[in-house]
Structure 1
Amino acid sequence: MLSWQVGRVKITRIVEMDLPIPASFMAGATPEALRRLPWLYPHFVSADDSTLNLSVHALLVEAPGLRLVVDTCVGNDRPREFTGGEALSTPFLAQLSEAGWSRDGVDAVVCTHLDVDHIGWNTNQTLTGGEAMIRAAQHDGIVRPDLDPALTIALMSGGIRQAMLGALTREDRPTPDALTEAIWSFMAAALRPAS
């Protein structure tokens, strides 16, 4: 487990899995293009340029008064296409505990984008920081006080998941920017304080 300190902030990397893939899987990952980025070698690209070594990991960010998880990996117990339809069974939660964190102790989750390897553990309410954030926003008058935090997070996660599934299985798929804008609009409307 890799950790580093930046001022008063501690950052810890929790690796869910290392994922070697053929370089040909990624468009533009030609030997010529890869060699222009020497920092990739030897950790992220094999010496013969044929394999990219990807890391699926979360970053635990601990600052005074805040425990934040950046990207929540793939998650266990759900079949995934890239795993051949098999559900993962990784020690992610045990590693979280080894780092001194509990899933209930997470204040916030940040997903840098909505790919499956960035949202997995928060789609099944494993990380409950969202409820704490709703309660804090209610206390500050930002979110309506009549909303149940656990139900709100569950509905938002389920609603977003269903919206994404619907949007991404249509023939006329929205652009990523349009989908992101729609999701943020949905969340803002759902949480808007009562006037």
Structure 2
Amino acid sequence: MQTLSAPSWTVGEVTVHRIDEVRLPAATGPWLLPDATPKTVNGHDWLHPHFADREGVLRLNSHSFAFTMGGLRILVDTGIGNGKQRANPAWHDLDTDYLQRLTAAGFPPDSVDLVILTHLHADHVGWNTQEVDGRWVPTFPGARHLTSRTERDFWAGYDMDEARRQMFDDSVIPLEEAGLLDLLDIPGEGLTVVPGLRLVPTPGHTPGHLAVELTSRTGTALITGDCIHHPVQLAHPAIGACVDIHPEQSERTRRALLRSLAGTDTLVLGTHFAPPTAGRVVAHGDAYRLLPVAAA
């Protein structure tokens, strides 16, 4: 019988679980981070074996993070989702055991109180909904879903292609129609939504992108969302994603964030980092590297 494990890390009194959805195919790296060439990647031995193979191919995953804080059961990002019609073949019509993994970690969908969406891209909102009797209905009907008002307003005024419109139709609008999506105004210093849980503005990848900071006792962790897609960007903060809305702002955000994290005890949890997924940022040459922290 398959074991639906959920690797976890302890942050003070909080246990953060990684809820795996799918490993992304090898073609994802060259498409997403085109400047992360094999030569560039292989110039950094510390990326091997966890984050890249010896051919310089990046390893990337899709997963969420779940934890309990302030008496609330919280999920950060909801992955790609099952049965979604997507232009990207790696995301199209998936059939994964994500919900079983979430439940096995102690977070059955009906028990989730809060869903934080770092931004409104297809691989971060997919499990907002699931198909029931031919309709897309909220997967977490008892949860408030939080995202930045800046983020939603941007997409509301964006000239969407058919693929992005489809994603909003099946994964965002059903939440709005159910009254479950809360839009938050996030000041520059961030917004505390639960004691110890702060939403940090990290714009560039999208205008309203958020990172999520957890603090418990003396422990701190930061969930990156897509302001950092892969640890190679620690060594080369100028490497951006092909889908960054504002590439220069994305780089500025990434550099500022890495400066603030370097040499601290903050545990960085990468939303697309392959296992071991977590680590601490340290200065390395004229940039940074990730010191991995194994999951329990």
Q: Same fold (TM over 0.5)?
A: yes
Bigger CA radius of gyration: 1
1:99 corresponds, among 105, 121, 124, to: 105
Higher normalized contact order (CA 8 Å, seq sep 6+, divided by chain length): 2
1:19 equivalent to 2:24? Answer yes
Q: Which moved more, 1:77-86 or 1:11-20?
A: 77-86
- Kindly provide the amino acid, as one letter, of the partner of residue 22 in structure 2: M
Residues 69, 85 of structure 1: CA spacing in aligned structure 2 closer, same or farther, 3 A cutoff? closer
- Looking at structure 2, the residues matched to 45 and 77 of structure 1 have their Cα atoms a distance apart, in angstroms, of 29
Which amino acid letter does the alignment assign opposite residue 48 of structure 1? E
TM-score normalised over the length of structure 2: 0.44
TM-score computed with the length of structure 1 as normaliser: 0.64
Residues 76 and 117 in structure 2, CA contact (< 8 A), matched pair in contact too: yes
3-state SS, counterpart of residue 25 of structure 2: strand
Matched, 1:126 2:139: yes
The aligned length equals: 147
Equivalent residue number for residue 31 of structure 1 = 38
Q: Is the 8 A contact 1:14 1:59 kept in 2?
A: yes
Match of 1:145 in 2: none
Q: Which residue pairs with 1:53 in the alignment?
A: 59
SS of residue paired to 1:76: coil
Contact 1:20 1:52 in 2 (8 A): no
RMSD: 3.0
Q: What is aligned with 2:159?
A: 167
Distance change in 2, residues 1:91/1:79 (3 Å) = same
Identical aligned pairs, as a percentage? 35
Higher strand share: 2
> What are structure 2's unaligned runs of at least 5 residues?
1-5, 130-136, 147-151, 163-203, 210-296
Q: CA deviation at 1:166?
A: 5.9
Write the distance in 2 (CA, Å) between the matches of 1:113 and 1:40. 27
Gaps of 5+ in 1: 135-159, 182-195
Q: Which has the higher helix share?
A: 1
- Which stretches of structure 1, 4 residues or more, deviate above 6 A after TM superposition? none
